[in-house]
Amino acid sequence: QRSPQIPAPAVVLLDERDKFRAAAEDALLVRANITPLEKAAPGARDLAGWTMVELARHSLKVAGLPITGSRMEMVGRAMVSGDFPLLLANVAHKALFSGWEEADETWNTWCGTDSVSDFKTHYMPRASETDDLLEVPEHGQYKHGERSEAQESYAIATFGRLFAITRQTIINDDLRALSDIPARHGEAARRKIGDIAYAVLIANAAMGDGVALFHAGHGNLLTGADVGVAGIGAAILAMGTQKDILGKRRLNIRPVFLIAPKALEGAAEVFFRSEKFADQAVAATPDMATATTRVNPYAGSYFTRVYEPRLDDADANAWYLAARKGRTVVLFFLDGVQTPYLETQRGWSVDGVEYKVRIDCGAKAVDWRGLAKNPGPS
C-alpha cells in the first residue's frame, strides 16, 4: 500500500517591506563604501541614488503609514515608526563593526582571552608544581607530595559612549555622519581594549602576593640594557630559571614575544634582521680594541615582535619579554563576547535616534613568571 504523500514544507518568502529594507540598507552601505555593490542585496543598485529623505518616505509608504506633512515632520515620523529605524540601526551596526575590524591593535598578538559571567571579583588559583616522583622499591609505599597554591583576583567593567543620528542628518543626506560616527565608535571600542591590556604593563600593580608585577623580588626586573644579545640573554635566563611557588623546581619558561615602544623599533629591527654583529672586545692593552664578529642567536623569527605606541607614552626606553599566550596578561570579557554591543532608542534629548556602544572587559597579569621587563639604558 502506497504511503500518503507528505506535503512539502511551506516556504515563507520575503515580502515587499523586507525586500525594500534589505535593498535600502545595502544601498546606504554601498554609498558609504562599506559593502561592495556586487555583494549588495537585489535592488540596492536601483536605490543607490536615493537620498535618505526619499528612503524615509518610502519606508513609511510600504508600512502603510502617512507620508504627509513637511519634510521635517515626515522624517521625524519615519525615525520612530515603520522600518526606517531598523534600517538605520542595521547600517550603524555594520559601520560600527567596520571600524572595529579596521582598527590596528597589537594586544591580541600576545594577550590571552577568557570569559566571565558577571561583574563580581573573580579569583584565579595558581597551583604549584608537584614534587618529583620517587622510586618505589618492591613492597615499598607510595608517598604524598607537597603542593601549594596562590591566587590572583580580577574583575571586568563596562565601557561605553552615546551618539545620535538626528533628523538634520537625514534631511541633509549626511551619509558621512551615518557611517563614520558609528565606525569611529567601533575604533574607539577596540582602542579601549588595547588601553586595558597595556595598562597592566604600564601600571605595574601589585600581584596577589602584594608585590609589584615587575620587581626584583619576582626576579623579572632586569638591569638597564638595549635590545641586544646581552639584554635579551639576561631576560631569557631570568625567565627560564624562575621557580614554582614552593621554590623547588625551575620552570624553564621560554619567552615568545618581544614587546617594545615604537621608539625602539628601528634599532631593534636592525638587530633582529642581522645574522651577525660586531662585538667590541678590549685587548690586553687598554688603548687597543678589536671588533669580533659573532653570530646573532636571536636573529630572524626567534621572537614575535610587537611595537606599541602606548608604551612610548609611558617609557620610550623600557621593553619586555613575554611567554606564550594565556600565561601572562589575560583579557576577560563578559560571556566571552569580544566585540562591542550596539543598542538604540528614540532620542529624548535630541530629535532623532540615540545609540549606545558598550563593551565589558577587564585585564590581569595572571603570573609574573612569564614576563620580564628591562628598563633600557639609563
Residue 287 in this model has a pLDDT that exceeds 60: no
Cα dihedral sign, 285-289-295-301: positive
The pLDDT tens digits for 195-212 are: 999 999 999 999 999 999
Cell 619579554 sits on residue: 321
pTM (predicted TM-score): 0.83
Residues 6+ apart with CB under 8 A from 27: 40, 44, 45, 47, 48, 50, 55
Could you give the C-alpha distances from 137 to 133, 140, 183, 352, in angstroms and in order? 13, 5, 69, 82
CA atoms within 13 A on the CB side of 197: 27
Q: What is the DSSP letter of 64?
A: T
SS3 233: helix
Whole-angstrom Cα distance, residue 369 to residue 207? Answer: 11
Least confident of 179-183, 247-251, 311-315: 247-251
DSSP per residue over 309-377, as a string? HHHHHH-SS-EEEE-STTSSEEEEEETT--S-EEEEEE-SSSSEEEEEEEEEEEEEE--GGGEEEE---
Is the pLDDT at 11 greater than 50? The verdict is: no
What pLDDT sits at residue 178? 87
Give the highest mean pLDDT range of 72-81, 148-157, 253-262, 289-298: 253-262
How far is the C-alpha of 338 from the C-alpha of 101, rounded, in Å? 12
Which has the closest alpha carbon to 209: 124, 249, 152, 154?
152
Answer with the residue of higher pLDDT: 258 or 19: 258
Confidence of residue 12 (pLDDT cuts 50, 70, 90): very low
Q: Would you place residue 13 in the very low, low, confident or very high pLDDT band (cuts 50, 70, 90)?
A: very low
CA pseudo-torsion sign 253, 254, 257, 263: positive
Q: What is the mean pLDDT of the chain?
A: 88
123 within 8 A of 208, measured Cβ to Cβ: no
Least confidently predicted of 122-131, 172-181, 349-358? 122-131
Please state, in angstroms and rounded to a whole number, the distance separating the CA atoms of residues 24 and 42.
Answer: 10
